[in-house]
Amino acid sequence: MAPKTSAEVGGMGHSVKRKEDPRFIRGKGTYVDDIQLPGMLYLDIVRSPFAHAKITKIDASKALAIPGVLAVITGQDLAKYNLHWMPTLMSDTQMVLPVDKVMYQAQEVAAVLATERYIAADGAAAVEVEYDPLPVVVDPKKALEPGAPVLRTDKKDKKDNHIWHWEWGDKGAADRAFRDAEVTVKEDIYIPRIHVASIETCGCIADFDRVQGRLTVWMTTQAPHAIRTVFALVAGHVGLAEHKIRIISPDIGGGFGGKVPVYPGYVIAVAASVLTGKPVKWMEDRMENLQADSFARDYHITAELAAKKDGTLTALRIKTIADHGYADAAANPSKFPAGLFHICTGSYDFKAAHVEVDGVYTNKPPGGIAYRCSFRVTEAVLTIERMADVMAHQLGVDPAEFRLKNFIRPEQFPYKSALGWEYDSGNYAGALRKAMDKIGYAELRQEQAEKRKRGELMGIGISSFTEIVGAGPSKQFDILGIKMFDSAEIRIHPTGKATARFGTKSQGQGHETTYAQIIAEELGIPAADVQVEEGDTDTAPYGLGTYASRSTPVAGAAGAMAARKIRDKARKIAAYLLEAAEDDLVWEPGKFSVKGSPQRAKTIQEIAFAAYTNHPQGMEAGLEAVSYYDPPNLTYPFGSYICVVDIDKGTGEVKVRRFVAVDDCGNIINPMIVEGQIHGGLTMGLAPALFEEISYDEEGNIHGGSFMDYLLPTAVETPNWETDKTTTPSPHHPLGAKGVGESATVGAPAAIANAVVDALWHLGVRHIDIPITPAKVWKLLREKNVSE
């Protein structure tokens, strides 16, 4: 689609360079830790070495003896204000600081307030805590066994570790389909606990002004307004009302869902500032970030597919144990306890499906969060795409042919899935065929057959995923009852330049550029003349923040709608200036002209000036608008990825030789940014597929608590991504856009896992849990008597 605007205007479809990059690449960004306030104090946190233990004594005397240490804050201190526990977004509770026992290794135990950051750290090391270790529950399946130690002893009448049971779909229909099925397959799939590991850790500066009774918090948060409301609800009883709270989310160094939750450190810093009347800074170090912040995934899945002998899929059944750690603190904005997991019918036309999920408590950090997907979508996609391959191989059908046979067809949209979602638009076969052509699928299969004869291990994996983003329609989504709309406020100044504020918050997505492009598209004001601001609750309109790929589908739509309101008023002013009827005016980006006499025209800049200097009588001055957009539906980006791997029989190493990604995110705002998002997303999909995992030993000691053991892919491990696109606009989004930030993270792991299993299927391998490490593959190869 050719852009409607010129390159100078830079509306949709132009690869406008990112406005935020000049400050980032010159080191001039302002992150929370860059902010220094006069008289600022520092907070450091004492953390538990044990996964489950009674606290018998906290001795702060040695810490308090260090010059510069001002206070040691414990759960007992917070209990005086009833701030030692806080509610989670999932109606559970979690500790701010414990009063009697710790529930996971690295849990906050006490906090040290000092005049310098290093003194605070020394103080934390000097606090002596006596623990009485308790039996540790690490395995969620064992946690459900009768006689397992009950973890949440704080909850009266809680007699087990089960949090909730949730099921969805028509169980009867699914069971009947399985009874009548000609072919069924079943696999246990574990999707391990991982961590977003954003480059900036979490932290805040809390600054309570005692004179004005006003709290300002600079905070690493993806959702400043929601946080302000949460603070007002939680701390209302100690006098913090919402109009006296200002949350500022400055530049954010990556979020991926990890900066949605409220961590205890934030609350302690706020309490410390309110008590001292001084600004208090708290910043996590890397190990605290990896060990204590909310995790993602940790789903133990049993999945079954039913099909006819001719390869037609008929039904899907899934049972899942969800390990939530010691509290269900999921950053999940939906009304469903398992988020959007019931998108698990994927891109296929199932007639029947049923999903069950059980949430369980264990001695691990609370969570979870999304890890760059709109909550449990990667879990769903990995499961369905893995199972599609298992079924195809089981039937002896090529996995690509199998998918093409079972895809929802373009004419079926809008498509109502067996689990109740209404897919907006799609052309799944189009994307897969494009990917197959680009990678040379037939030739690769031929090469694989030849290599197999020679005993070489090569695999081809496909993932034809359907995403579900843009939370969300208020009937399905809320946070604490607040509907998941988002907002935009645009002010056109007399000289025709604009300031636009949004309820979202970029963490690297490039909103300052893409939102300006949306306004450029709608009003013809050059994107360079639009200043985009986000993240300050004192100035931005109320919004729910950035996660779940919701900024373009929701706030982007709000931007377009607000711009259209402005255009409507501009038309009135233009009609007045041109002495023509409104209906006789023709709009092209940037100006109104009179039908039939294009030389009689007023530019948007002239109209803006008139809005303040020469507007029609009876009309209010100014040219501005606000929109709160409640999306009528979610958007469903999709794509097909094909991955080719070679496996080293000696070391078990999986080498990604090629990876072709064809994405469809509807109409594109900025092709360069979309490509960047896909590159980043693919790398964050490669990571859990091959490297990342946080596991625990039986005593609850974390494995993967530092970058020594938690392996992030570097430039060395990252293959050359080959990207392409198809364009299927969303029918309900004002711009036809769908959102793209998470597609690649969601789609990539299954392609890689499928490629590895494809290379080993003839040896009898049906499934390998991610991350597919050399050690896992090496062990499998030895079990199958494959030697170098």
Catalytic residue among 94, 222, 448, 507: 222
For position 50 contacting other proteins by CB under 8 A, the verdict is: yes
* Cβ nearer to other proteins, comparing 55 with 270: 55
> Which of 31-39, 127-135, 546-554, 625-633 is the region at the interface with other proteins (rule: CB under 8 A)?
127-135
Q: Strand, coil or helix: what is 463?
A: strand
Provide DSSP, 5-68.
S-TTTT-TT--PPPTTHHHHHTT---BGGG---TT-EEEEEEE-SSSSEEEEEEE-HHHHTSTT
Decide: 504 and 555 in contact? Cβ < 8 Å: yes
The tokens for 183 are 């072919």
CB of 292 to other proteins, least distance (A): 10
| Residue 202 a catalytic site member | no
For position 160 contacting other proteins by CB under 8 A, the verdict is: no
How many residues make contact with other proteins (CB under 8 A)?
24
CB of 102 to other proteins, least distance (A): 12
For position 697 contacting other proteins by CB under 8 A, the verdict is: yes
Q: Strand, coil or helix: what is 532?
A: strand
Query: Cis bond leading into 414, ω under 30°?
Result: yes
For position 788 contacting other proteins by CB under 8 A, the verdict is: no
Distance CA 248, CA 250 (A): 6
CA 702 → CA 101, 194, 717, distances in Å? 18, 12, 25
Distance CA 365, CA 446 (A): 48
* Cβ nearer to other proteins, comparing 255 with 700: 700
For position 513 contacting other proteins by CB under 8 A, the verdict is: no
Distance CA 1, CA 297 (A): 38
- Helix (H) or strand (E) holding 603, with range, is strand 597-603
* Cβ nearer to other proteins, comparing 48 with 640: 48
> Which of 88-96, 270-278, 302-310, 693-701 is the region at the interface with other proteins (rule: CB under 8 A)?
693-701
Q: Could you count the other beta carbons within 10 Å of the beta carbon of residue 443?
A: 9
- Token match 């220094």: residue? 36
CB of 216 to other proteins, least distance (A): 31
* Cβ nearer to other proteins, comparing 292 with 647: 292
* Cβ nearer to other proteins, comparing 136 with 468: 136
Which residue in the set 99, 125, 150, 397 belongs to the binding site for other proteins (CB under 8 A)?
A: 125
Catalytic residue among 372, 376, 386, 658: 372
β-sheet bridge partners, residue 624: 491
> Which of 120-128, 313-321, 341-349, 748-756 is the region at the interface with other proteins (rule: CB under 8 A)?
120-128
- Token match 């208090």: residue? 280
CB of 772 to other proteins, least distance (A): 18
* Cβ nearer to other proteins, comparing 429 with 647: 647
> Which of 121-129, 214-222, 425-433, 642-650 is the region at the interface with other proteins (rule: CB under 8 A)?
121-129
Which residue in the set 5, 74, 105, 728 belongs to the binding site for other proteins (CB under 8 A)?
A: 105
CB of 405 to other proteins, least distance (A): 43
Detail the DSSP E strand segments found in 83-124.
Answer: 85-87, 93-95, 101-102, 108-114
CB of 149 to other proteins, least distance (A): 17
For position 683 contacting other proteins by CB under 8 A, the verdict is: no
Query: Cis bond leading into 368, ω under 30°?
Result: yes
CA 544 → CA 318, 334, 370, 549, 596, distances in Å? 31, 12, 16, 12, 45
Which one-letter DSSP state was computed for residue 711?
P
Sites for other proteins among residues 420-449 (CB under 8 A): none
Which one-letter DSSP state was computed for residue 328?
B
Distance CA 101, CA 739 (A): 43
- Token match 């009609």: residue? 575
Backbone phi and psi for residue 228, each to the nearest 5 degrees, phi listed first? -60, -45
For position 704 contacting other proteins by CB under 8 A, the verdict is: yes
CB of 62 to other proteins, least distance (A): 10
CB of 90 to other proteins, least distance (A): 27
Q: Could you count the other beta carbons within 10 Å of the beta carbon of residue 60?
A: 20
Decide: 316 and 174 in contact? Cβ < 8 Å: yes
Which residue in the set 159, 411, 613, 716 belongs to the binding site for other proteins (CB under 8 A)?
A: 716
Decide: 775 and 652 in contact? Cβ < 8 Å: yes
Nearest residue to 91 via CA among 153, 32, 164, 21: 164
For position 291 contacting other proteins by CB under 8 A, the verdict is: yes
Distance CA 576, CA 152 (A): 69
* Cβ nearer to other proteins, comparing 568 with 697: 697
For position 130 contacting other proteins by CB under 8 A, the verdict is: yes
For position 720 contacting other proteins by CB under 8 A, the verdict is: no
> Which of 182-190, 239-247, 394-402, 706-714 is the region at the interface with other proteins (rule: CB under 8 A)?
706-714
Which residue in the set 450, 588, 709, 783 belongs to the binding site for other proteins (CB under 8 A)?
A: 709
Residues in the chain: 788
Which residue in the set 224, 255, 339, 705 belongs to the binding site for other proteins (CB under 8 A)?
A: 705
Which one-letter DSSP state was computed for residue 222?
S
* Cβ nearer to other proteins, comparing 478 with 699: 699
Decide: 506 and 534 in contact? Cβ < 8 Å: yes
CB of 128 to other proteins, least distance (A): 5
* Cβ nearer to other proteins, comparing 121 with 173: 121
* Cβ nearer to other proteins, comparing 203 with 359: 203
Distance CA 778, CA 648 (A): 9
| Residue 179 a catalytic site member | no
Which residue in the set 237, 409, 703, 782 belongs to the binding site for other proteins (CB under 8 A)?
A: 703
Helices (H), 465-583: 511-523, 557-578
The tokens for 733 are 């989004």
> Which of 381-389, 557-565, 630-638, 709-717 is the region at the interface with other proteins (rule: CB under 8 A)?
709-717
Which residue in the set 302, 312, 701, 718 belongs to the binding site for other proteins (CB under 8 A)?
A: 701
For position 100 contacting other proteins by CB under 8 A, the verdict is: no
| Residue 23 a catalytic site member | no
Which residue in the set 106, 151, 177, 668 belongs to the binding site for other proteins (CB under 8 A)?
A: 106
For position 49 contacting other proteins by CB under 8 A, the verdict is: yes
Which amino acid is residue 155, in one-letter code?
Answer: K
Distance CA 692, CA 295 (A): 12
Distance CA 106, CA 125 (A): 13
Which residue in the set 450, 538, 706, 784 belongs to the binding site for other proteins (CB under 8 A)?
A: 706
| Residue 742 a catalytic site member | yes
Return the exposure string of 711-730: e unless at least 16 CB atoms fall within 10 Å of the residue's CB, then b.
bebeeeeebebebbbbebbb
For position 699 contacting other proteins by CB under 8 A, the verdict is: yes
For position 42 contacting other proteins by CB under 8 A, the verdict is: no
For position 121 contacting other proteins by CB under 8 A, the verdict is: yes
For position 154 contacting other proteins by CB under 8 A, the verdict is: no
Nearest residue to 563 via CA among 506, 525, 601, 537: 525
CB of 492 to other proteins, least distance (A): 50
* Cβ nearer to other proteins, comparing 184 with 701: 701
Catalytic residue among 373, 507, 512, 522: 373
CB of 98 to other proteins, least distance (A): 15
* Nearby residues of 447 by Cβ (< 8 Å), 6 or more positions away: 458
β-sheet bridge partners, residue 184: 306
User: How deeply is 435 buried, as exposed, middle or buried, from its count of CB atoms within 10 A (0-12, 13-18, 19+)?
Assistant: buried
CB of 76 to other proteins, least distance (A): 18
CB of 263 to other proteins, least distance (A): 18
Catalytically active residues, by annotation:
222, 372-373, 742
**Binding interface with other proteins (CB under 8 A):** 49-50, 105-106, 121, 125, 128-131, 287, 291, 697, 699, 701-706, 708-709, 714, 716
